[in-house]
A = this chain, B = another copy of it.
Amino acid sequence: MTTRPKNALIMQSGGCTNVLNSSLFGIVSEAADAGAFGRVHGASHGLEGLLEGKTVDLTDVPQATWRRIARSPGAALGSTRRKLTPDDVPIVLGRLAALSIGYWFIIGGNDSAETGHTLSVEATKAGYDLTVVNVPKTIDNDLVMTDHCPGYGSAARFVALAAMGAGADAEAMGAASPITIQEVMGRDTGWLAAAAALGRREERDAPHVICLPETPVDEDRFVAQIEAAYTRFGFAVAVVSENARSANGVLGGQCEPWFVDDFGHPYYDGPAHYLSGLVSKRLSVRTRYEKPGTIQRSFVAAASRRDLTEAEMAGRAAVRAAMNGHTDVIVTLERAPGSAYECITGLAPLDAVGGKVRTMPSEFLDAAAGELKPAFLRYLRPLVGRLPRFARLG
Q: Which residues of A contact B (CB under 8 A)?
A: 12, 15-16, 20, 42, 45, 48, 56, 58, 61, 65, 68-69, 71-82, 161-162, 164-177, 180, 182, 256, 258-259, 261-262, 267, 269, 273, 276-277, 280-281, 284, 286, 288-295, 297-302, 388-394
Contacts and interface: CB of A to CB of B under 8 A. Distances in A.
B291 A73 contact: no
Contacts of A300: 161, 164-165, 388, 390
B294 A166 contact: yes
A227 B295 CA distance: 22
A259 B288 contact: no
A72 B56 CA distance: 46
A68 B176 CA distance: 25
Given A165-B300, A294-B170, A299-B165, A175 B393 contact: no
Contacts of A177: 81, 294
Copies in the complex: 2
B65 A393 contact: yes
Given A176-B80, A288-B293, A168 B262 contact: no
A258 B78 CA distance: 36
A294 B165 contact: yes
A201 to B, nearest CB: 12
A197 to B, nearest CB: 17
A284 B263 CA distance: 9
B284 A259 contact: no
A57 to B, nearest CB: 10
| Centre residue among A256, A258, A393 by max chain B CB count within 10 A | A393
**Complex A-B, nearest 8 residue pairs according to Cβ-Cβ distance, in ascending order:** A165-B298, A74-B168, A290-B293, A68-B391, A75-B172, A74-B172, A72-B390, A81-B176
A45 B174 CA distance: 7
